[in-house]
Amino acid sequence: MHRRLPLGITILALVGAAFVVLPVLALVIRAPWGDLSTSLSGVGATTALRLSIEVSLAATALSLFFGVPLAWLLARGTFPGRSVLRAMVVLPIVLPPVVGGIGLLNSLGRSGVAGQWLYDGLGIQLTFTIWGAIIAATFVSMPLVVIATEAGLHSVDRRYEQAATTLGASQGLAMRRVVFPMLLPSIVAGAVLTWARALGEFGATITFAGNLEGRTQTLPLAVYQARQTDPGGAIFLSLILVVISIVVLVAMRNHLMKAR
């Protein structure tokens, strides 16, 4: 039926699994289930949840809208500094989010390098608004869609594209009708990861967008605030995030696998 793995590997693997699973399990064990309803109403769970879903979906849409063309440019474009651009584009994955937040303040804040034109010229201020939260989430999560899409593009055999153009299709038509369908699983996988990352975003958001219930206080920020005043409520809020993330990741597992 199944071949036995070497004992050492099995033990290390189980320790690794326990390390990841235990903190999540502890949330379930330690949650004060008796006060479920009072806790959740006390910490403004519905408001934060609604905001989190809006912000993460908007961030995913923005990431796709700009990230897929960006991946295309990186995969198919030939221009000097491409590898530098590629490294810069994925930097937010390894950057501490708070650093991203400070960068966003200095670039898109109302006195920021670019933000001052928005503010002085058009009267647009991103900070302390839901758009600030969306921008912060997009900044940290867009690289995931770029990486997944670019990997997908590299795995698509260019001969299909060439065959299509040889048969008279325009470059655009070949992309839409030939490349894009083959690329779709990669884009979907990237989008799911992007969305999950955006949903959990904290550091850049609190730094750039601030923390105000109903406007910029997403679920992770609500958890952070509740952990001091209402530790039980913080656990329930955390569990909401855990459940949503698990459900989506499990549901999308087939897509993620296909993209490999």
Write out the residues near other proteins by the rule CB under 8 A: 86-87, 90, 93-94, 102, 105-106, 109-112, 116, 127-128, 147, 150-151, 154, 206-207, 209-213, 215-216, 224-225, 227-229, 231
Cα distance between the two ends of the chain: 26
Least Å from the CB of residue 3 to other proteins = 27
Least Å from the CB of residue 151 to other proteins = 4
Cα distances from 154 to residues 6, 52, 73, in angstroms, run: 36, 33, 12
Which lies closer to other proteins via its Cβ, residue 5 or residue 114?
114
Return the exposure string of 115-128: e unless at least 16 CB atoms fall within 10 Å of the residue's CB, then b: beebbeeeeeebbb
Contacts of 217 (CB under 8 A, 6+ apart): 44, 47, 48, 51, 211, 225
Extended strands (E) in the chain:
none
Which is nearest to 90 in space by CA: 140, 159, 151?
Answer: 140
Which lies closer to other proteins via its Cβ, residue 155 or residue 166?
155
Which lies closer to other proteins via its Cβ, residue 132 or residue 200?
132
Least Å from the CB of residue 156 to other proteins = 13
Which lies closer to other proteins via its Cβ, residue 164 or residue 221?
221
Least Å from the CB of residue 32 to other proteins = 15
